[in-house]
């Protein structure tokens, strides 16, 4: 999908919804330097959604969509959960998979897109909750990493099954008592980032979404590495304020509290040697371009 | 009766480059930047009244956003 494809026929312009008109006029498709700095000034690729007021997951969603390097050539694969409530309101191609199937579908999709559009780069991004990634879809998630499928997996980790009332999930922290897990969790949080690293992911990052520039960098790196080298994985902490008993304005503080040194979501990044060489080259290239631009401006 | 956020233009420091409320608002296209007046403004129909913008604005001691009832 290019921006040309979403343009409105002149005769029908006035009967299209104003949101769609804004999308055609202001959205940042095809802009190379797009990032979270565009929010507030350009139309975002996400519309009014049905997530709760103050939900940190929707903050994460905004950043992810603002930071995709090429939204017009990206297909997102979602799965059951709170994220699937948002996908109908997103202006990026997306597929809703069966619960847990997301990485299997993305594997097939990525291979098919490579055959269908050999001259173009099409990004595939999986975006699912922790239940789909770690419990129900763990098989598909791991197999896609073992096979070195070239797409990015993003996990919105809210540490429980929020959509159905707070049952225990694999990523729930030890000892936590959920609304529908009254005995408390008996074993540790599944160390999925470490598993990802050992399963062949070339770029792994764990963080909260309290710092947008950090999220932007991680998402860009993950998608670019996935294009060229192999699977990548990002785990974002998006606490469910309802289920952990917080007020709607306390989500941000909760994220900041859990990312300090030694806490569960301290920023962690793993880059394989191959990916490191690639990212360093990209950085050098970007710096060279900036320098050339500055030199041209000075003249 | 709904509570929605409202930006006090005089106190808003968006002209100095502050984008805190725009950044941390969970709703898309809700708090936007007015390029002419150089202040942030709230699109009321989209606001869910979660107060997150008030929290971040007050934490930075700008105190430029308040909740109003509509």
Q: Give me the CATH code for the A35-298 domain, please.
A: 3.40.50.970
Provide the number of structural domains found in chain B. Answer: 1
Strand partners, B5: B67
Domain boundaries, position B34: 3-69
* Backbone phi, psi, residue A205, to 5°: -140, 140
A284 in reach of chain B (CB within 8 A): no
A interface test, pick of B52, B53, B58, B59 with most A CB neighbours within 10 Å: B52
pLDDT for B16 beyond 60: yes
At residue A219's C-alpha, the angle toward residues A264 and A95, to 5°, is: 105
Quick one: which H or E segment has residue A23?
helix A18-26
User: Domain with B10 in it: what CATH number?
Assistant: 3.30.70.20
Give A 62-81 residues with CB within 8 A of chain B.
62
B26 token code pair: 């969970």
How far is the C-alpha of A64 from the C-alpha of A282, rounded, in Å? 20
In a structure prediction context, what are the per-residue pLDDT tens digits for chain A, which is 299 residues long? 567 778 888 899 999 999 899 988 888 888 888 888 888 889 999 999 999 999 999 999 999 999 999 999 999 999 998 899 999 999 999 999 999 999 999 999 999 999 999 998 999 999 999 999 999 999 999 999 999 999 999 999 999 999 898 899 999 999 999 999 999 999 999 999 999 999 999 999 999 999 999 999 999 999 999 999 999 999 999 999 998 989 999 999 999 999 989 999 999 999 999 999 999 999 999 999 989 989 988 87
A17 in reach of chain B (CB within 8 A): no
Q: Note whether A40 contacts B32, CB cutoff 8 Å.
A: yes
b (16+ CB within 10 A) / e for A147-172? eebbbbbbbbbbbbbbbeebbbbbbb
With beta carbons less than 8 A apart as the criterion, state whether A29 and A71 touch.
yes
With beta carbons less than 8 A apart as the criterion, state whether A96 and A87 touch.
yes
């Amino acid at each position: 999908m290019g921006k040309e494809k979403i343009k409105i026929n002149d005769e029908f312009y006035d009967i299209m919804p104003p949101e769609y008109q804004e999308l055609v006029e202001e959205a940042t498709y095809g802009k190379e330097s797009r990032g979270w700095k565009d929010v507030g000034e350009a139309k975002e690729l996400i519309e009014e959604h049905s997530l709760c007021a103050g939900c940190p997951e929707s903050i994460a969603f905004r950043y992810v969509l603002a930071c995709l390097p090429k939204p017009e050539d990206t297909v997102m694969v979602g799965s059951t959960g709170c994220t699937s409530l948002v996908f109908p309101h997103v202006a990026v191609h997306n597929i809703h998979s069966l619960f847990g199937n997301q990485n299997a579908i993305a594997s097939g999709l990525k291979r098919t897109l490579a055959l269908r559009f050999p001259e173009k780069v099409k990004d595939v991004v999986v975006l699912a909750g922790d239940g789909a990634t770690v419990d129900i879809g763990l098989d598909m998630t791991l197999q896609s990493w073992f096979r070195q499928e070239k797409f990015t997996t993003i996990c919105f980790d809210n540490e429980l099954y929020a959509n159905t009332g707070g049952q225990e999930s694999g990523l729930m922290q030890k000892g936590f008592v959920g609304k529908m897990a009254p005995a408390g969790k008996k074993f540790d949080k599944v160390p999925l980032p470490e598993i990802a690293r050992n399963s062949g992911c070339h770029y792994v990052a764990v963080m909260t979404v309290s710092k947008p520039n950090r999220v932007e960098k991680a998402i860009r790196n993950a998608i670019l590495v996935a294009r060229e080298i192999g699977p990548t994985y990002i785990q974002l902490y998006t606490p469910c304020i309802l289920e952990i008993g917080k007020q709607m304005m306390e989500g941000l503080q909760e994220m900041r509290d859990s990312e300090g040194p030694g806490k569960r979501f301290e920023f962690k990044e793993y880059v394989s040697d191959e990916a490191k060489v690639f990212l360093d080259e990209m950085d050098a290239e970007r710096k060279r371009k900036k320098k050339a631009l500055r030199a041209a401006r000075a003249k | 009766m709904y509570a929605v956020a409202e930006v006090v233009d005089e106190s808003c420091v968006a002209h100095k480059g502050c984008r805190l409320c725009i950044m941390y608002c969970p709703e898309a296209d809700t708090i936007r930047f007015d390029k002419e007046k150089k202040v942030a403004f709230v699109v009321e129909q989209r606001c869910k009244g979660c107060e997150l913008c008030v929290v971040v604005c007050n934490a930075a001691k700008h105190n430029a956003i308040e909740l109003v009832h509509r």
